[in-house]
Amino acid sequence: MTRIPPSPRSRDARPRAGIVPPWLLLRVAEATDRFDVAADAAQRSLRHDVPLRELRAEGGHPSFGAPPVPRERPSLRPGAEPEPDRRISDAGGAQTLPGRLVRREGEPATGDEAVDQAYDGLGETYRLFQRVFGRDAIDGAGAPLEATVHFGDRYDNAFWDGERMVFGDGDGEVFRGFTQSLSVIGHELAHGVTEATARLRYRDQSGALNEHVSDVFGALVEQYAMGQDAGAATWLIGEGVFTDLVEGRALRSMIEPGTAYDDDVLGRDPQPAHFRDYIRTADDNGGVHLNSGIPNRAFALAAVELGGFAWEHAGRVWYDTLTGGTLGPDDGFAVFAAATLGSARARFGATSAEVRAVANGWRAVGLDPA
């Protein structure tokens, strides 16, 4: 087995919520007989991530501290719709953030695919949160949407570091560039929204909920941009980040956890789809990328039962739950499930189809929100 030696912890290192789980990178790192370039890239990606994973495990994730101070937004013209303030930087293959600012709000496309995909993806994510939920950027007060692309040398991940979204280019053998997937961009921005609201602790069940919420809004961003209803949606997170050499559709499937990939090198997607199969582990901050499959399926089932556009019903319930002030940083699945049922009642009425669908979704994965 390939052993990934830890790097010295940087005093400036910020914790991350990365979209690719460590066990998946370890599989690639061990596949030196099949993926020469990718194995080396995965080993370096893991070395870079180790100290920050340790920091999160010790409670260093920014979701723990005092909530961010909202920034005052300049006054808008009467009747004007708020607009995003996007700022895309280029790390140029280095691991220094933020990198060189290369595109600001309103500037034309640069011709750099990653820069322009990040710019467009942040715009789509902003539009969902602003037009559907009435939220002006991550902090609700129009803070800039900051992103860095071309981070590291063939870096195999994307993450939220507490201030910005950061995207690697992938190794080209297993992973493509992470700006290729709109659900990845939406996922990372949603980590910032969680940090500014419920501040769910990034470990065990609360950490799985942190990942779950990002998957929910990552999926909704993609569906909103494409005009897809719940029945037509793929419910895939990270579709397009694998190359054609991998037997897999995406990093995760919300509607069918455990089916996103089945590859002779990467193995089979290990996400459980039911609470009886909850995985207890010390790895991955207590299995945050594993057990998120359970609430993911509950949400997707509720949305499909309701039909139509998921952001109009189930998405509103989940957003109300995240921002309603009733969740604590350490709350787990049972508390979150009950809170979503309360949000559904408050918004749609106690006898509504939304309440029934939310309850049915949770019961289908082994949790009774009542």
DSSP at 21 = -
Distance in angstroms (rounded) separating the CA atoms of residues 43 and 160: 20
Other C-beta atoms within 10 Å of 280: how many? 9
270 burial (CB, 10 Å; 0-12 / 13-18 / 19+) is middle
Element (H, E) at 23: helix 22-30
Distance in angstroms (rounded) separating the CA atoms of residues 200 and 367: 19
Measured in degrees and rounded to the nearest 5, phi and psi for residue 112 equal: -85, 115
Residues involved in catalysis: 188, 289
Characterize the bridge pairing of strands 267-268 and 262-263. Answer: antiparallel
CB 235 within 8 A of CB 304: no
CB 98 within 8 A of CB 146: yes
- Is the peptide bond between 98 and the residue preceding it cis, with omega within 30 degrees of 0? yes
Distance in angstroms (rounded) separating the CA atoms of residues 307 and 309: 7
DSSP at 193 = H
Residue 147's DSSP bridge partners are 88, 165
The end-to-end CA distance of the chain, in Å, is 46
CB 198 within 8 A of CB 329: yes
Dihedral (CA of 27, 22, 13, 179) sign? positive
Return the residue matching tokens 């309603």: 324
Dihedral (CA of 99, 101, 105, 109) sign? negative
CB 362 within 8 A of CB 337: yes
